[in-house]
Amino acid sequence: MGKDPSVTVGELGEGRVLQRVLAQLRPAETAVLGPGDDCAVMRVQGDLVVTSDTMIEGPDFRRAWHSGFELGWKLAATNLSDVAAMGARPTGLTVSLAVPRDTPVILLEEIAAGLTAACDAMAPGCGVVGGDLGTAPVITAAVTALGDLEGRPAITRSGAKPGDQLAYAGDLGLAGLGLSLLFAEACDEGVAHSRTLPELWQRQPEMLAAQLAPTPPIPLGIVAAGSATAMMDVSDSLSLDAERLAKASGVAIQLDSALLAAAFGDQGGVPVPVAAMLTGGEDHGLLATFPAGAVLPAGFRRIGVVQEVTVGGTALQLDADAYEAKGWDPYTVQLPGQ
């Protein structure tokens, strides 16, 4: 017989919930000791990189839009991209979930299956090595990702030099368009809209996939590490993160609207305006700088140039003009319905 989808975590209890969740996970290849003890034990070859992120139901995701599988996938993708941006190989994740007592156990199993599938697809050998379960008024997830530099130096935000090429790999602007589409047309918390979620998936699968289950180019982090002078994950918007890279490196960055339009104006048949590329968030692609004469690694497209900071000049320009960076800030952005 199949599992009862109505059984909740409160009815089953922590021990039996964990048994069902762990059955959906595969061990990380570098785990000497995986889930089940006080700590996991990992084997690494070089320096270890560590990053953490939280996702909270409401501001970060909505159950009306995300399936459990998509949520697990996104939890993995958003953290794997940070590891890749350092030029490291993702090796393991710890995932802590706090959920209401009436949460169906099957939802946690779907989240675990999404985590496993995302690791298999984007970072083979990586897996969940531990975590925690708890209770909270809304679903709250905290993920820590680990990566191995394997003897390579870390690629940071602070190494860009005047004259470097600015390049990007991954989707750009699609996730922001997908979020706008969801707010405009998808059913959410009983609010009537013009289309249901399945209809939107049929009409705009590229936008929704980029927002609900992104697939950043994780393997390209290691590829770029051979020649990149600086690199970072683009999560809040291209303009915000390019400005952060510029300030960390003590340089100015000039984005080129013609290069952006040529490289990313058509993504999978979806027209993407330059404005959406600049201000949309959650694409989780890789923004990197490379020496002027370097051949860009496959998958990276040139979108601008690194310049000297002039007296009274700005850290970010679009073409020849100063540009005010805009994007996601959890403390200032007001989402519809909040």
Contact present, 130 and 110 (Cβ < 8 Å): no
Q: Which residues contact 12 (CB under 8 A, 6 or more apart)?
A: 20, 105
Annotated binding residue 132 = yes
Q: What's 334's DSSP letter?
A: -
Annotated binding residue 47 = no
Annotated binding residue 131 = yes
Annotated binding residue 180 = no
Q: What's 234's DSSP letter?
A: E
How far apart (Å, rounded) are the C-alpha atoms in residues 137 and 337?
Answer: 18
Helix (H) or strand (E) holding 130: strand 127-135
Distances (CA, A) of 111 to 34, 54, 106, 127, 169: 18, 15, 9, 13, 27
Annotated binding residue 102 = no
Helix (H) or strand (E) holding 134: strand 127-135
Annotated binding residue 30 = no
Here the contacts of 5-14 (C-beta below 8 Å, separation 24 or greater) are 5/104, 5/106, 6/104, 7/104, 7/105, 7/106, 8/101, 8/102, 8/103, 8/104, 8/105, 9/99, 9/101, 9/102, 9/103, 9/104, 9/105, 9/108, 9/133, 10/101, 10/102, 12/105, 14/133
Annotated binding residue 188 = no
Angle separating helix axes 174-185 and 205-212, nearest 10 degrees: 100
Which residues sit in the known binding site?
A: 38, 51-53, 60, 82, 131-132, 157, 233, 235-236, 282, 328
Which residues sit in the known binding site for Mg(2+)?
A: 38, 51-53, 82, 132, 233, 236
Which residues sit in the known binding site for ATP?
A: 131-132, 157, 235
Which residues sit in the known binding site for substrate?
A: 60, 282, 328
